[in-house]
Structure 1
Amino acid sequence: MGIRRAVGVAVVACALAATPAAADPLYLPPQDLAAHANGEILQSREIAASALLVPLPVRSWQVQYKSSDSDDNATTGVATILVPNTPWPGPGPRPLVAFQAAIDSVGTRCDPSYAIRDGIQTTGFTNSQAEMPFALAGLLRGWALVIADFQGPQARFFDGPQNAHSVLDAIRATLRFAPAGLPTSTPIGAYGVSGGAFATAWAAKLQPSYAPEIPLAAALLGDLPARPASLNGINRGPEAGLLVLALVAAVRNNPESRLEELLNERGRAVLAENQTACASELLPKYLNADINEFSAVPDLFAEPRVQAVLAAQNLGTCAPAAPLYVYHSVADELIPIDSVDATVAEYRAHGTDVTYVRSQIPTHTGAGWGELPGGLTFLADRLTREAYR
């Protein structure tokens, strides 16, 4: 959900040449994976990082680490660590901030680790490429960033627990990675916009139980897809390709629900041909599509099985311990603001400290960019408070 329709249409002619993980040792799990602790570094390498084709003035590495999927089975994660070349002026040690890009894909070739290492030369233009200016905003504040391929080796879009585990274990790995030079006392924050906000919110939600030793100072959530079922409103519109993305992910992530039984022959073909797709491909491909043309039932997203799968990804059902800064446009055309209103109310009812901006800036993209500086200022303030503790 981070990439916008205009971008998707503009890059329709840009071929996305896959870089298979099987060809890169960094993405291959060790045979004794289950013997390692979550967040333990398994491999690392130094890289030259770039945003699109522009080199970043940072020291940069990629690490593979042990993590757990949504069923607590052993899996791996890959994250990119970026540390600005400029000295940190203080107070305290340089903060570590987990930035979650809106990966929006069901294929690992769309992950930020590819985007940051190869620019657009290998993978073409993906959501992770489009998200790099959000990362640059954090680097310009002097923060060290860790950017996880949080969907994991199976590219599990809209799998909140798995996404959260990967983010939190990336933070653990970065704190253990001596070349980054970050002490265990470093203040820690997190941020993301749109699909990146979903992963950030789930990480904040599960941090008290999954990684209680991580003192998360605050989390920034922009354009939050708090209720995935609410995306059904984009059907037959310019962003309808995102519903195809959500459908492929829901079927693949939840085989026990047998959602493929709800599809017609055309729908099953759509599933088969989009198993590694990025949003940048699906948006132009399914421009103004009707998701129900792929369905054997009248209203696919109203089906109880589909509703149950999507509801399991809802946010707000328990309270993050960290303070939150949430912003969302009252005129967001992708994610209705009432779903965010309800989530914020639930957070507050559970005791979470939430600063909520109901933005008057129109559109998903407009608020995503326009409200970011205020959110980053909030995050910086919370990181500074943590440094003085």
Structure 2
Amino acid sequence: MTLTLAMFMLPAALTMPVAQAAEPPPGDDPFYAAPADLASHPNGAVLGTRTIPVLGLPIPVAAWQLRYRTTDSEEHPQLDVTTVLVPPVPWSGPRPVLSYQVPENSLDTRCAPSVTLRGGSDTDMTRIMQDAPFIGEALRRGWAVVVSDYEGPQSRLFDGVTSGRGVLDGIRAARSFPPAGIDAASPIGAFGYSSGAFATLWATQLRREYAPDVRFVGTSAGGIPTDIPTMAQLADGAEGAILILLGLARNEPASRLADLLNDEGRRALRAAGTSSCGADMAQKYSDIHVDDFATVPNLLAHPAFRNAARPNELGRTTPDTPLYLYHSVTDEKIPVAGYTALVDTYCAQGATLTAIHSLFPTHIGAAAGEALGGLNFLADRFAGTPQSPGCVVR
């Protein structure tokens, strides 16, 4: 009864300004500061812990935040934070663990899930509100939930390797934290939508080479960002295109994409780390096109932009875990053609997957309409029900 109440309280709490105002942003919070000996610790090592009230409210769910070491795409050690939620539901045997990747469309750590989940001040709280019912459903089922800040301390949007490694090491950290009651015997599933799906699938692709000790029994992902240049072109004139441009310019200096920014673009890039939550960008750059920030025409088709996007595209490696993927055929943010191509690539590489071309309209519609199918797929994997090899596409 108390957990059912908590599930309903999660989304409602996100509208309460009192709960959102007390916590400092990561730049002012010593918990996010990397220790001087960070590089000496192994990936996934827990370097500090704290308990939190979820959303700043007395919800009956045990919640901790863990600082942990990971390695970014440039092979630099970095400190990430993960939030571990455990429901007061008895479980016979190893408790399942759901690695839940919240969509984080930002270049600013104020928008990280660890901030919003503890009730921090954030102009983009609607991102968590969309996920709260599904996190609540996972907790209702008795699963532990791990929500990592996979973009890391520089909020590296659409950095595939950094995101995937952040997810994997967040699981390692949670698994080595005794109070959570999960360990190496706990089955692990991964779930994410939109930019959360991007991180989820990158983690699934990287698992074998980077974290062979982390084994997923299944992965569910929807609204999957693919063909980043086409996605940016579709979003041009909205904050999404500017987020992608500034993120790739900052993340991929070797592409020389930043050299093609004009004065306004360079000012936006310098400010990105402190004013680039999605909601900030929507207010600040409404009706701004990418070429308004560029010294060359048609920047989104320029080789520098494509070179920055290319190493972060999904599909380079075949996931070795059963997949459940879904995408609206009328997705207005991420064209379904890229999803279909990714499914074809995974199937040609021998993946085991179920792929849904969803009839739920729009990007947000498929997020709400298909999530239960994704959670049920993972519930079957947690229960030990085998998935038949091969591809089922519908």
Q: Is the shorter-chain TM-score for this pair beyond 0.5, marking a shared fold?
A: yes
**Counterpart secondary structure, 1:293:** helix
The answer (yes or no) to whether the contact 1:126–1:278 under 8 Å persists in 2 is: no
Flag the 1:155–1:384 CA change in 2: closer, same or farther, 3 A.
Answer: same
Q: Does 1:23 align with 2:22?
A: no
**Equivalent residue for 2:359?**
360
**Equivalent residue for 1:369?**
368
1:151-162 counterparts in 2 under 5 A? Answer: 151-162=151-162
1:118-133 counterparts in 2 under 5 A? Answer: 118-119=119-120, 122-126=121-125, 128-130=127-129, 131-133=131-133
Flag the 1:332–1:321 CA change in 2: closer, same or farther, 3 A.
Answer: same
The answer (yes or no) to whether the contact 1:16–1:124 under 8 Å persists in 2 is: no
The answer (yes or no) to whether the contact 2:108–2:272 under 8 Å persists in 1 is: no
Give the whole-Å Cα distance in 2 for the aligned partners of 1:16 and 1:302. 42
Give the whole-Å Cα distance in 2 for the aligned partners of 1:249 and 1:157. 6
**Equivalent residue for 1:197?**
197
**Equivalent residue for 1:264?**
262
Q: Does 1:307 align with 2:306?
A: yes
**Equivalent residue for 1:349?**
348
Give the whole-Å Cα distance in 1 for the aligned partners of 2:22 and 2:243. 19
1:263-342 counterparts in 2 under 5 A? Answer: 263-276=261-274, 277-342=276-341
**Counterpart secondary structure, 1:123:** coil
1:128-207 counterparts in 2 under 5 A? Answer: 128-130=127-129, 131-207=131-207
The answer (yes or no) to whether the contact 1:190–1:219 under 8 Å persists in 2 is: yes
Task: Report the alpha carbon displacement of residue 324 of structure 1 after superposing the two structures with TM.
Answer: 0.7
Task: Report the alpha carbon displacement of residue 128 of structure 1 after superposing the two structures with TM.
Answer: 4.4
Flag the 1:249–1:373 CA change in 2: closer, same or farther, 3 A.
Answer: same
- Higher relative contact order at CA 8 Å, sep ≥6: structure 1 or structure 2? 1
Flag the 1:171–1:35 CA change in 2: closer, same or farther, 3 A.
Answer: same
Give the whole-Å Cα distance in 2 for the aligned partners of 1:93 and 1:43. 24
The answer (yes or no) to whether the contact 2:82–2:170 under 8 Å persists in 1 is: yes
Give the whole-Å Cα distance in 2 for the aligned partners of 1:305 and 1:184. 43
> Deviations for 1:207-263, whole angstroms, at most 9, x for unmatched residues?
0111111121011111000222221243445xx101111111111111222212212
Give the whole-Å Cα distance in 2 for the aligned partners of 1:283 and 1:330. 25
Q: Which consecutive residues of structure 1, in runs of 5 or more, have no partner in the other structure? A: 1-9
Give the whole-Å Cα distance in 1 for the aligned partners of 2:381 and 2:60. 25
Give the whole-Å Cα distance in 1 for the aligned partners of 2:264 and 2:343. 39
Task: Report the alpha carbon displacement of residue 16 of structure 1 after superposing the two structures with TM.
Answer: 9.3
> Deviations for 1:268-323, whole angstroms, at most 9, x for unmatched residues?
23323433310121124333332222222111110001101111111112101111
Give the whole-Å Cα distance in 2 for the aligned partners of 1:288 and 1:17. 33
Give the whole-Å Cα distance in 2 for the aligned partners of 1:378 and 1:195. 20
The answer (yes or no) to whether the contact 1:189–1:218 under 8 Å persists in 2 is: yes
Give the whole-Å Cα distance in 2 for the aligned partners of 1:34 and 1:268. 32
**Counterpart secondary structure, 1:162:** helix
Aligned partner letter, 1:77: D
Q: TM-score w.r.t. structure 1 length? A: 0.89
Q: Which consecutive residues of structure 2, in runs of 5 or more, have no partner in the other structure? A: 1-14, 387-394
Task: Indicate the larger mover: 21-30 or 165-174.
Answer: 21-30
Aligned partner letter, 2:84: I
Aligned partner letter, 1:324: L
Percent of residue pairs bearing the same amino acid type: 41
Give the whole-Å Cα distance in 2 for the aligned partners of 1:293 and 1:16. 35
Aligned partner letter, 2:332: E
Question: How many positions carry a matched residue from both structures?
Answer: 366
Flag the 1:235–1:196 CA change in 2: closer, same or farther, 3 A.
Answer: closer
**Equivalent residue for 1:227?**
227
**Equivalent residue for 2:11?**
none
**Equivalent residue for 1:211?**
211
**Counterpart secondary structure, 1:38:** coil
> Deviations for 1:102-149, whole angstroms, at most 9, x for unmatched residues?
111111111111111125xx2344354333333223222221011001
The answer (yes or no) to whether the contact 2:235–2:333 under 8 Å persists in 1 is: no
Give the whole-Å Cα distance in 2 for the aligned partners of 1:18 and 1:291. 34
The answer (yes or no) to whether the contact 1:235–1:291 under 8 Å persists in 2 is: no
Give the whole-Å Cα distance in 2 for the aligned partners of 1:24 and 1:47. 14
The answer (yes or no) to whether the contact 1:191–1:200 under 8 Å persists in 2 is: yes
The answer (yes or no) to whether the contact 2:250–2:258 under 8 Å persists in 1 is: no
> Deviations for 1:16-48, whole angstroms, at most 9, x for unmatched residues?
999343432221111111111111111011111
Task: Report the alpha carbon displacement of residue 55 of structure 1 after superposing the two structures with TM.
Answer: 4.3
